[in-house]
Amino acid sequence: MAKEYSRTQRIGDQMQRELAQLIRREVKDPRVGLVTITAVDVSRDVGHAKVFITVMGEEGAEAIQQSLKVLNSAAGFLRMQLGREMKLRSVPQLHFHYDESVSRGAHLSALIERAVAEDSLHQSGDAPDSDKE
């Protein structure tokens, strides 16, 4: 029977849950905004983990970079705390990255809404003209 998830996916899922709790509980730096961990991608050798985050309420690139800087500097501390929480032989090194998919999705959604609104304006504008003919 084939496995549904690989070991690295299971580790990544657990790391995502644990890191969310650790960041909320342990990282007290005010420069870190309201961080949401969207995904954790663990390498096959479990040596490195890319942690993808979004920062809620912070639209500026400077605020996002500041949060990333703080989290990357706290990566060693968070790794040590993860080692205490998870039962792993070795805990991967953490590398925090901004997940642009959420902002990209919001942008695409806004474009779609604008196109639908323009289309409905064109259709409602055409309706009176068709009555005149």
pLDDT in tens, 21-46: 999 998 888 888 788 999 999 999 99
Asked whether residue 1 is domain-assigned, the answer is no
Given a cut of 50, whether residue 7 has pLDDT beyond it is: yes
Report pLDDT for 100: 86
| CA distance to 18, 105, 127, per residue, from 22 (Å) | 6, 27, 58
Contact by Cβ (8 Å): 69, 33: no
Residues 59 and 124 in one domain: no
Residues 82 and 106 in one domain: no
The domain total for the chain is 2
Contact by Cβ (8 Å): 82, 93: no
- Give Rg (Cα) of the chain: 22
Residues 116 and 56 in one domain: no
> Which residue in 38, 35, 19 sits closest to 79, CA to CA?
19
pTM here? 0.75
- The whole-number average pLDDT for the span 113-133 is 72
Residues 89 and 111 in one domain: no
Range of the structural domain that residue 60 is part of: 7-99
Residues 104 and 93 in one domain: no
Residues 74 and 44 in one domain: yes
Asked whether residue 49 is domain-assigned, the answer is yes
Residue 1's pLDDT band (cuts 50, 70, 90): very low
Q: Write out pLDDT tens, residues 45-60.
A: 999 999 999 888 766 7
Residues 41 and 85 in one domain: yes
Residues 26 and 79 in one domain: yes
Report pLDDT for 64: 87
Domain containing 18 — which CATH number?
Answer: 3.30.300.20
Asked whether residue 68 is domain-assigned, the answer is yes
Residues 62 and 112 in one domain: no
Asked whether residue 122 is domain-assigned, the answer is yes
> Which residue in 38, 42, 37, 36 sits closest to 5, CA to CA?
42
- The tokens for 97 are 């990255």
Residues 18 and 78 in one domain: yes
Given a cut of 80, whether residue 70 has pLDDT beyond it is: yes
Asked whether residue 2 is domain-assigned, the answer is no
